[in-house]
Chains A and B, each alone.
Chain A
Amino acid sequence: MTNFGQFVRAIEQRAAAISGLRTSAHALFLASSAALIASILIYALPEVAIPIAAKAGLLIALLSVSALGYLAGRMAKKDPARLLLEVDLRLGLGERLSSLYELRLRGARSVFRNHLEATLSELPWDRRRGLPVPRRVRYTFALSALFAIAAVLFLFLPPRTHAVIAATTVLPESSSQTIDVIGDMPVGLSDRDVPLPESLESGESSAVVRESPTEQFRLEDVLSELRSAEGTSSSIVGDASPDELGHLINEQRAMVEKIRELIESILERIQQEGGGLTDTERDQIRQQAGDAGDPQLAQSLMDLLDESGSDPSGVEDMLESMLSTVDVEDPGPDTGESEGASQSIPLRENDPNWTPDLPTGDSSRPDDASPGSEGASTEPDESDAAGDAVPQETNMPGHEENPQLEGGDDEQTAETLESDSTQPGFAREEAPSTIGSSGEFSSFITEGVPVELPQLLDPDRDVLTVDFERIQSILHTRGVPEDVIDTVRKYFELITQGGS
């Protein structure tokens, strides 16, 4: 060490730089933390529009705070004696630097000063090792930088919106109504419109759906999750797709129709000729019992065979009873038996006392009396002729046969409701609904959810309000597992953003 004074000045400068870094790190940490919080809030609140200049200004502010902190830290007064003692201790110099400084400060020449200077000139020392940048300062800087980067990312990310689906649906001309369903318009997304799925575009509807984060939860994904969930009740249709499901139901209807025709022909013959069942008829009944998908119906047919052997006179009564049962079980609209089916439904839409809230297992309702319903009045499985499900094809407002919009006849409505209630599960439907106060959107609706249009529709706006409690009630009634219900709830909340 040739010049102790220069050495002390160098130490002081380094200490000032470290002090500046320390202050700068703290200031930057506070500023970047605040910036991160603010940017997250801005991101979460899309209605808060921040111009690009302001975002850039935030960056400049962060850098300015850091620079000001550095300058302030540099200007803080340092005690060379303490600095030298710190260097002494860090480098293991036996406190010689600080002692020598003490002696020089007194200005006294002493034998010890000579000894100290001689010793220090031989010792190798590293200024950086003697006064390193504290680890805490480094970590604070790193953390602050991360915060700043995160804040910038949040600022320049597209803002999150409530329900980013914005669609304009042109309803069929025959409905003579046009429903504009407009969700929250996402900032900066106006040029990212994508066409609606084909299912929504069918029926002379043209619509666009604006791309949004909600698309990460596609209906197909949710449905597949529901299907793959363990313990899913039969009403969720297992692995069948909606098309397969429809096919199966059509087959079922055809089978029921065949049985009805067989019973009618046998009943007609017995009424004309009297007597019991012929062998041919017994074979036909046995065959139909084997082919019948419904175990109750098959059991009834087998009981008929047994009774006809023991008591041929009671066959006619049994056939009539069975015929009425088959009438109830087959709600097909084009079977010619829809009249009976419609009679089994007390035309709720026209019943002013009827409430759309679905009580589970309400035995007072007329449809509970239908065979096979087992009291689950809201369960629209095949055996429930009075299913409460939403009409699959005709629940869309503006549909030409939709009685809620057209004020059409009740019978037609009942037929529609009945026919669709036989197909459980979920299907993509276009139905207007509202998202709280932010507007309407055209989205998906869960098939089977009893959307009673007269009660749910806003007569002024022709929009449909659906809340999750109704869906949840239906799902509970059907015995859908909780995890599946949770998935539905998440999807519902996602597409409605907490609205309805």
Chain B
Amino acid sequence: MITEQDLQRAITTFERLREAIAGVIVGHDTIVRASLIALLCRGNVILEGVPGLGKTLLVRTLASAMGLKFSRIQFTPDLMPADIVGTDIITEEAGHRRFSFSQGPVFANVVLADEINRATPKTQSALLEAMEERTVTVGANTYALEEPYIVLATQNPIEMEGTYPLPEAQIDRFLLKANVEFPSVDELVQITVRNTEAGGIEFPASVATADDILLARDVVRAIPIAEGLREYIAHLVLATHPTSEIATPRIRDYVEYGASPRAAIALIAGAKAHAFLEGQPNVRHADIEAVYKMALAHRLVLNFRGEAEGIGTSELLDDVWSKVPVV
């Protein structure tokens, strides 16, 4: 049971964490918030944006501020699953040779899967178990990953040649998907100042521990949400299905598959985390709205007509949002 002290501790932890991140990362409030929400919800985030926007920096800062182990995997077409999860190698010890498991880069707390869509589906799928089950199976052995664990994947939307778009099953395992926007003029100026003056970027010292993060997760799970809002979220998710009775005409026209039940879970969990970050004792409609697109946009599969007409899932979700009543 969450006590007042637990609540205050969790709140303090994340306030400090946000301050530490803000000392390094300029702007990018959306992706910082998305990363923290995913961390609080035991989820993973996919960040989409052109290179050079600070995605890697954000992830490293996050890991540094939390005092967690960080690893980065640059996905390439020739990357093999064993390169990620690790492999059994023959070791010799006291005159005996035996296989011992050498951990791959997924064995960390914060994993940055950079340009994840450049690896083959086989390699991409190697992350599935780690992302969802928090375990890694090599041969006959299964290894647990250390909590807190979060995978932050990036993908470049402009260089699609030679890439392997993430299969629906895999992309559904990402709690949120956030678009990394280009910084504004003021933010860009500030970025240049931080990178070109004095000693350059200094990663923050650890302001939180793994226990703090896990406690905050428990706090977030305890945040109440009204039954009516749960039903509302269920209606929102169902409305994205073209075969649903409450689907909007645009959804029927352009969507092949709607959001999965994972989307509803992500929406509620994300709304709770958002409420926590906002210092609210309960989930509000505004919290749902804040994570609505991040939780659902990457889960909609457009049909041929939608693809051909260049329909964006974001505008379809706007349509659903405007048509589904709260009460």
What is A's interface to B at a CB cutoff of 8 Å?
81-82, 84-86, 88-89, 94-96, 98-103, 110-116, 119
Q: Which residues of chain B in 66-94 are interfacial with respect to chain A, using CB atoms and an 8 Å cutoff?
A: none
CA distance A116 to B223 in the complex (A): 11
Interface residue tally for chain B (C-beta within 8 Å)? 23
> Given that A112-B281, A116-B282, A119-B281 are contacting pairs, would A81 and B226 also be in contact in the complex, using a CB cutoff of 8 Å?
yes
CA distance A250 to B179 in the complex (A): 105
Give the one of B227, B229, B281, B285 with max A CB within 10 A: B281
CA distance A113 to B227 in the complex (A): 15
Q: Are A85 and B1 in contact (CB under 8 A)?
A: no
Whether B326 is near chain A, meaning CB under 8 Å from some CB there, is yes
Q: Are B229 and A94 in contact (CB under 8 A)?
A: no
Q: Are B327 and A82 in contact (CB under 8 A)?
A: yes
Q: Are A95 and B222 in contact (CB under 8 A)?
A: no
Q: Are B229 and A85 in contact (CB under 8 A)?
A: yes
Q: Are B226 and A110 in contact (CB under 8 A)?
A: no
CA distance A46 to B223 in the complex (A): 72
CA distance A219 to B283 in the complex (A): 80
Q: Are B222 and A99 in contact (CB under 8 A)?
A: no
Whether B162 is near chain A, meaning CB under 8 Å from some CB there, is no
Give the one of B222, B223, B327 with max A CB within 10 A: B327
Q: Are B282 and A94 in contact (CB under 8 A)?
A: yes
Q: Which residues of chain B in 274-291 are interfacial with respect to chain A, using CB atoms and an 8 Å cutoff?
A: 280-286
**Which of the residues B6, B225, B327 comes within 8 Å of A102, measured between beta carbons?**
B225
- Please name the residue on chain A nearest to B1 by beta carbon: A110
Q: Are B326 and A89 in contact (CB under 8 A)?
A: yes
**Which of the residues B1, B6, B228 comes within 8 Å of A98, measured between beta carbons?**
B228
Q: Are B226 and A102 in contact (CB under 8 A)?
A: yes
> Given that A81-B227, A85-B228, A102-B226 are contacting pairs, would A95 and B283 also be in contact in the complex, using a CB cutoff of 8 Å?
yes
CA distance A113 to B4 in the complex (A): 11
**Which of the residues A86, A95, A112, A115 comes within 8 Å of B284, measured between beta carbons?**
A95
Q: Are A95 and B327 in contact (CB under 8 A)?
A: no
CA distance A88 to B327 in the complex (A): 11
Q: Are A98 and B229 in contact (CB under 8 A)?
A: yes
Whether B22 is near chain A, meaning CB under 8 Å from some CB there, is no
What is B's interface to A at a CB cutoff of 8 Å?
1-4, 6-7, 222-229, 280-286, 326-327
Q: Are A111 and B224 in contact (CB under 8 A)?
A: no
**Which of the residues B222, B228, B285 comes within 8 Å of A82, measured between beta carbons?**
B228
Q: Are B284 and A94 in contact (CB under 8 A)?
A: yes
Q: Are B285 and A95 in contact (CB under 8 A)?
A: yes
* Chain A residues with CB below 8 A from B226, complex form: 81, 84-85, 88, 95, 98-99, 101-102
Beyond A84-B226, A96-B282, list 10 extra A-B contacts (CB 8 Å). A82-B228, A82-B327, A89-B327, A94-B280, A98-B226, A99-B281, A102-B227, A112-B222, A112-B281, A113-B224
- Please name the residue on chain A nearest to B229 by beta carbon: A95
> Given that A111-B2, A112-B222 are contacting pairs, would A98 and B7 also be in contact in the complex, using a CB cutoff of 8 Å?
no
- Please name the residue on chain A nearest to B227 by beta carbon: A81
CA distance A146 to B284 in the complex (A): 43
* Chain B residues with CB below 8 A from A110, complex form: 1-2, 222, 224
Q: Are A85 and B326 in contact (CB under 8 A)?
A: yes
A-B contact pairs, 24 of them (CB 8 A): A81-B226, A81-B227, A82-B227, A85-B228, A85-B327, A88-B226, A89-B326, A89-B327, A94-B280, A95-B226, A95-B283, A95-B285, A99-B224, A100-B282, A102-B224, A102-B226, A103-B224, A110-B2, A111-B4, A111-B6, A111-B281, A112-B222, A112-B223, A113-B224
* Chain B residues with CB below 8 A from A84, complex form: 226, 228
- Please name the residue on chain B nearest to A89 by beta carbon: B326
Give 6 nearest A-B pairs by CB, closest first. A98-B226, A85-B228, A99-B282, A115-B281, A81-B227, A99-B224
* Chain A residues with CB below 8 A from B282, complex form: 94-96, 99-100, 112, 116
**Which of the residues B3, B227, B285 comes within 8 Å of A111, measured between beta carbons?**
B3
